[in-house]
Structure 1
Amino acid sequence: MSISFERTQSIAILGGGPGGYEAALAAAQLGADVTVVERAGIGGSAVITDVVPSKTLIATADAAVAISEASDLGVQFYAKGQDGKPLKPQVAINLTGVNKRLLALARQQSDDMRAALIDAGVRIISGHGRIDGENAIVVSTGPGGTDFDRVEADTLVISVGASPRQLPSAKPDGVRILTWTQLYDMQALPEHLIVVGSGVTGAEFASAYMNLGAEVTLISSREQVLPGEDVDAAKVIEEVFKRGGMHVLSKSRAEKVENTGDGVRVTLTDGRVVEGSHCLMAVGAIPNTAGIGLEQAGIQMTESGNIQVNRVARTSVPNIYAAGDCTTFIPLASVASMQGRTAVFHAMGDVVIPLEELRVTANIFTAPEIATVGYSQQDIEEGQINGVVHKLPLAANPRAKMMGIKDGFVKIIAHQGSGTVIGGTIVAPRASELIYAIAIAAERRLTVDQLSRVFAVYPSLTGSITDAARAMHIVNKGEPAPAP
C-alpha cells in the first residue's frame, strides 16, 4: 500500500546504519525523495565493525565448541600415526583466516544494503555530514573538507550511532590495548586476553575467545557478570565461564592499562596487577553527536550526548527525528531499525505504533545465549507489577539431552490472576530464536493457557516453552487480560 501526497516529500538522513537504512527504505516505499549521508559505508559501524563481524566471530567459536564436545555425543576425531595407532587431533584456529572471512562478510552485507537503497531510488552521498538549521545537512565530501554538498529536506533523520568509550588511563593503541572495533586486526589468537568490563560486549567477547582457545581474564566491577541482567541467567553464564577456565575477577575495577611492549599490564584499584598479552576495553559507548550541529539546531540532548527522543523517535525539533545508539532509547540494532521506520511513518502521516520498551526482545550472544523480553523477575520482586514467575531447567528437555545441552532454562513471567504473558528469559543455545514465541505471546497479550495450547514439535527445545506455560495453568483464573 502506498500513500499519495500533493507534492513529493523530501527526507534527508544523516547516518546509514540500521536506523538510517530502514528509514531510507521506508521513505522510498512511501514515495519520498530520499538522501542518505554516510561516512564509513552503508550499514554503519553495526555492520562494518560491530554486530556483523562480532557475531560472525562468535559463530566460529560455537563451531569450535561443537567440534571439541563432539566426543560427548559419540563422535570421535582421530588420525593414524606411523605406528598405526590413533592420534587425537587438536582444534586449531586460524585467526587471520577467521578475521578475513568476517570482515569480508561485513563488507558484503554493507554492499548488499547499498545496492538495496540504490534499487529503491535513494540518493547516497559519501562524506561527513552536519546539521545546518532545521532543514539541511551540509556534507564534506572532499579530502580535507574542501568540497561541500548541501542537502535540504522537509524532514531530517539523525542516525549517527556510537563509538567505543575510551579512558585516558587505558588509551587503546590498536596493538595491545584494543576496542572491539580493533580486534579484527590480530593475526593470531591472543595468548592471554584481559577483558575490562563484564557488560554485554565484554561478556560476549570473553565467551568467544575462551571458546576459541585463548586464556581469558574478565574484570568485572560488579558482584556478578552481566550486571542488570536476570540474576539466574548471569549466574549460569558465570558458572560456564569458570568451568571453561576463564578467570573472573568480581568486584574489581581497572585503574590503569599499560602496553609493556610484549604484553599488557592492568593495575586494579586495590593494587593488584594482572598481566596478559592483550587487553580489550569494553567499558561502554558514547554517541557520535559531538560537533554535528545538533545544539545549534535546538535539539535537546542528555549530558552524555544522547539525543532525547519520544516514542515515535521525534526530537525536540518537530521535523527532526533520531534513531539508534545516538538516542536515549535502547541501544540495539533491531531497535534502531524500528525507530527509523517509525520516524518516517510518523513524519509522512502513515500508521504509527509508538515504540514500547517492554515489547523489545534482546539477546546476549554468549555461549549459551541469553534472550529476554518484557518484564523481568526483578521487576516482579520490586513490586513494579503483580506477576508470577516459573523457571524450567533446560536439562529436563528431551531434545536438550539428545544434543548434550546441560546449561540453561526457560523462564516465563505472567500477570497474577489473568495469566497474561508479560515477559520471559531464556538461557540456551540459539535463545535468540527461541524467545520469539514468548515475544509474540507478550505482544499479543496471550495467556499462559493460550501459549500452552500451541503445538510444539516433540522433541524440540521449544517444548520447554509450552511445558513451562502448562505448569503455570493455575495462574489463569479466567479474569480479563490486563494492559501491562
Structure 2
Amino acid sequence: MKTAHYDAVVIGSGPGGEGAALTLAQHGLSVALVERSPRVGGNCTHRGTIPSKVLRHAVQQFSELRHSALCQGALPRLRPDYPTMLGQAQQVIAQQVRVRRQAYDRAGVVVITGEARFVDSHTLEVREPEGLRKQLNAERFVVATGSRPYRPEDVDFAHPRILDSDTVLDLRETPRSITIYGAGVIGCEYASIFAGLDVTVNLVNTRERLLSYLDDEITDALSYHLRTQGVVLFHNESYERVTADGDGVALELRSGKVIKSDYFLWANGRTGNTAGLGLEELGIAVNHRGQVEVNEYFQTAQPHIYAVGDVVGFPALASASYDQGRFAAQHIINGVTDFRLVEDIPTGIYTNPEISSLGRTERELTEQRVPYGIGRATFENLARAQITGYTVGVLKILFHRETLEILGIHCFGHQAAEIIHIGQAIMAQSGEANTLRYFADTTFNYPTMAEAYRVAALDGLARI
C-alpha cells in the first residue's frame, strides 16, 4: 500500500478542521484534509448551522410578508412550504461548499475523500468511496470530526415520523403538529421555525427553564414569546416511551403525560464522531458521549495529535470551533497559542426573536458577589425599531458599579447576533477603554439599532 507523507493531516472539514488546515497551509506546511463526505463543509454546512439558519430566515421572510401593512389582504392563501424552504437551503449549501473548496485549493491543501482510521500514532489509513485504501503519514494530526445527534437505543429512529436534527432536513411535507424533545439551542430554534410555519409545536424541556446558562431575563423573554407563537412548553420532564405508527407519534412522559403529534423531533444531546477512528488503541481517552479529552492546547494524550470543535464538547459553536482549529495550528507551528479570543465568545441563538449573549450573567455576578449595575434599552423605544416594526427586544449591559467595567452584554430581539459584536469589540479592550462611558460618550448614527448601546449606557449611569 502506497504511503504519502505530510507535515500535518486534518480529519474533518467543518469549522474546526477548516481553521486548522488553512492556518497550517498558510504557514508553509504540507497539509492533507480527510473528509468522509464528497463535499467539504462538515455537519455545520450540510446538516447544522447553515440549513437551519436558512430555514429560519425563510420563515422570518414569510412572517414579514404576512404581517406587512402593505400586503394585508393580498396574501390570503399564501401558506409556507417546508420542502420548498429546504430547497433554498440546498442552494446556500452549494455556494458554501464552492467557497470552501476554492479556499483549500488556493492554500494548497490536499483534500482526500474517505473514512480515516489510525493505524499507528503517525499513520492514517483512509478508505476511499471506491473501496481503495491509502495511507497518510504525518508529524502532526488534528481531529476535527464534529458530532452527530445522540440517539438513545429505545427510540426507533428508523420510523419515518421519528426525526433528529439531521433527518428533519429530509422531511418532505409541512407537518400539522410536531413534538420536540430537548429545549437546548437546536430544540428552541426548530420550535421557532415550525411555529412560524403555523405548525402546532410541543417543546419538552428536561430542565427547569429554557437555556439555563443564559441570563434569566433573556430566557424569560424567550419563553414568553415562544408561547405567544403558540408553542406549548413542558418543563422538568423526561421521556418514558416513544411509540409511532402510520398516523403519528405518542410521547409518554414519566410524569404520566402523553403528547401526541404528527412527528417527533429528538433534539436532546449530541455525540462526538470518534467511532472507528482508532483513538482508544493509541491511549487517547474518549468519554461516553464520544468526546475526546484534550489539554489547554487542544492536545490529546498523544501530544502530536490534537482535537478541536464539537468532538471535544463545550462550547460546540461553529465560531469557537474555527478559532480552536486556528489555535491548535498555531501551537503546532510555534509551540505557543493565544486563548484570549475563546474566553469571551458571543453565543448566537437563532430563535424568533434571536438571542446573543457575551460575558457573565446576573446570576453569576450575584453568586460571585460582584457589585454590578444594569443598563437597558428596550427596542420599542428605538426609532429604528419603530421604523422596521421589530420592536420586540432589549439590550442589557451589566457593568461594575465602581469601575464601570463592562461585565456582560445580553440581547434579545431582531439581529441580536449582529448587535452583540459592537459590545464584544469594547469588552475586548483593557482599562478605561472597556467601560460604560465609551457607549455613553460615543456618537452613534441615528436612527440605528446600534444606538441601543448609548441608550442602555445612559440608563445604567442614571441608576448608580
Q: TM-score, normalised by structure 2?
A: 0.93
Matched residues, number: 456
Kept in 2, the 8 Å contact 1:419–1:475? The answer is: no
CA drift of 1:15 comes to: 0.8
Give me the whole-angstrom Cα distance separating, in 1, the residues matched to 2:369 and 2:6.
43
| Residue equivalent to 1:342 | 327
Kept in 1, the 8 Å contact 2:249–2:264? The answer is: yes
CA drift of 1:96 comes to: 2.2
| Residue equivalent to 1:222 | 207
| Residue among 301, 306, 317 paired with 2:302 | 317
| Residue equivalent to 1:93 | 80
| Residue equivalent to 1:24 | 21
Give me the whole-angstrom Cα distance separating, in 2, the residues matched to 1:11 and 1:384.
47
Pick which of 248-257 and 35-44 moved more. Answer: 248-257
CA drift of 1:356 comes to: 5.8
| Residue equivalent to 1:275 | 260
Letter in 2 for 1:454: T
Q: Secondary structure at the match of 2:237?
A: coil
| Residue among 124, 128, 131 paired with 2:118 | 131
| Residue among 250, 262, 265 paired with 2:247 | 262
Letter in 2 for 1:121: G
Give me the whole-angstrom Cα distance separating, in 2, the residues matched to 1:165 and 1:371.
25
| Residue equivalent to 2:44 | 46
1:461 to 2:460 alignment: no
Give me the whole-angstrom Cα distance separating, in 2, the residues matched to 1:89 and 1:305.
49
CA drift of 1:160 comes to: 0.5
Cα distance per residue 1:200-253 (max 9 Å; x no partner) = 100000001101221111112223222322211111111111111122222322
| Residue equivalent to 1:147 | 132
Kept in 2, the 8 Å contact 1:236–1:407? The answer is: no
Q: Secondary structure at the match of 1:130?
A: strand
CA gap 1:221/1:437 in 2 versus in 1, 3 angstroms:
same
| Residue equivalent to 2:71 | 76
| Residue among 92, 99, 112 paired with 1:105 | 92
CA gap 1:47/1:174 in 2 versus in 1, 3 angstroms:
farther
Give me the whole-angstrom Cα distance separating, in 1, the residues matched to 2:139 and 2:105.
21
| Residue equivalent to 2:458 | 470
| Residue equivalent to 1:381 | 366
1:179 to 2:164 alignment: yes
CA gap 1:95/1:303 in 2 versus in 1, 3 angstroms:
closer
Letter in 2 for 1:391: R
| Residue among 12, 16, 20 paired with 1:15 | 12
CA drift of 1:464 comes to: 1.1
| Residue among 450, 462, 465 paired with 2:438 | 450
| Residue equivalent to 1:481 | none
CA gap 1:330/1:31 in 2 versus in 1, 3 angstroms:
same
Letter in 2 for 1:175: P
Cα distance per residue 1:17-41 (max 9 Å; x no partner) = 1111121111111111000001023
| Residue equivalent to 2:408 | 423
Give me the whole-angstrom Cα distance separating, in 2, the residues matched to 1:236 and 1:412.
16
CA drift of 1:387 comes to: 3.2
Give me the whole-angstrom Cα distance separating, in 2, the residues matched to 1:243 and 1:328.
33
Letter in 1 for 2:95: Q
| Residue equivalent to 1:233 | 218
CA drift of 1:470 comes to: 2.5
Kept in 2, the 8 Å contact 1:309–1:328? The answer is: no
Q: TM-score, normalised by structure 1?
A: 0.89
1:346-361 equivalences under 5 Å are 346-349=331-334, 352-355=337-340, 357-361=342-346
CA drift of 1:298 comes to: 2.6
CA drift of 1:379 comes to: 0.9
Give me the whole-angstrom Cα distance separating, in 1, the residues matched to 2:392 and 2:136.
53
CA gap 1:228/1:175 in 2 versus in 1, 3 angstroms:
same
Q: Secondary structure at the match of 1:229?
A: coil
Q: Secondary structure at the match of 2:225?
A: helix
Kept in 2, the 8 Å contact 1:288–1:326? The answer is: yes
Q: Secondary structure at the match of 2:282?
A: coil
Give me the whole-angstrom Cα distance separating, in 1, the residues matched to 2:230 and 2:277.
45
CA gap 1:375/1:396 in 2 versus in 1, 3 angstroms:
same
Kept in 2, the 8 Å contact 1:311–1:356? The answer is: no
| Residue equivalent to 1:84 | none
Q: Tell me the C-alpha RMSD between the 2 structures.
A: 2.1
1:384-423 equivalences under 5 Å are 385-423=370-408
Cα distance per residue 1:396-452 (max 9 Å; x no partner) = 222222222342211112234211112211001110100001111111131111233
Kept in 2, the 8 Å contact 1:163–1:286? The answer is: yes
Kept in 2, the 8 Å contact 1:96–1:186? The answer is: yes
| Residue equivalent to 1:363 | 348
CA drift of 1:134 comes to: 2.6
Gaps of at least 5 residues in structure 1 are 1-7, 80-87, 477-484
Give me the whole-angstrom Cα distance separating, in 1, the residues matched to 2:52 and 2:436.
35
Cα distance per residue 1:242-287 (max 9 Å; x no partner) = 1111222223222221112121111111222111111110001011
Give me the whole-angstrom Cα distance separating, in 2, the residues matched to 1:297 and 1:90.
61
Pick which of 409-418 and 39-48 moved more. Answer: 409-418
CA drift of 1:351 comes to: 6.7
CA drift of 1:353 comes to: 1.2
Kept in 1, the 8 Å contact 2:320–2:342? The answer is: no
Give me the whole-angstrom Cα distance separating, in 2, the residues matched to 1:118 and 1:174.
41
| Residue among 224, 247, 250 paired with 2:235 | 250
Letter in 2 for 1:400: A
CA gap 1:309/1:355 in 2 versus in 1, 3 angstroms:
farther
Q: Secondary structure at the match of 2:407?
A: strand
| Residue equivalent to 1:61 | 59
Give me the whole-angstrom Cα distance separating, in 2, the residues matched to 1:171 and 1:323.
31
Cα distance per residue 1:24-72 (max 9 Å; x no partner) = 111111111000001023111110111111100001011111112213x
CA drift of 1:347 comes to: 0.6
| Residue equivalent to 1:33 | 30
CA drift of 1:323 comes to: 1.0
Letter in 2 for 1:136: T
Gaps of at least 5 residues in structure 2 are none
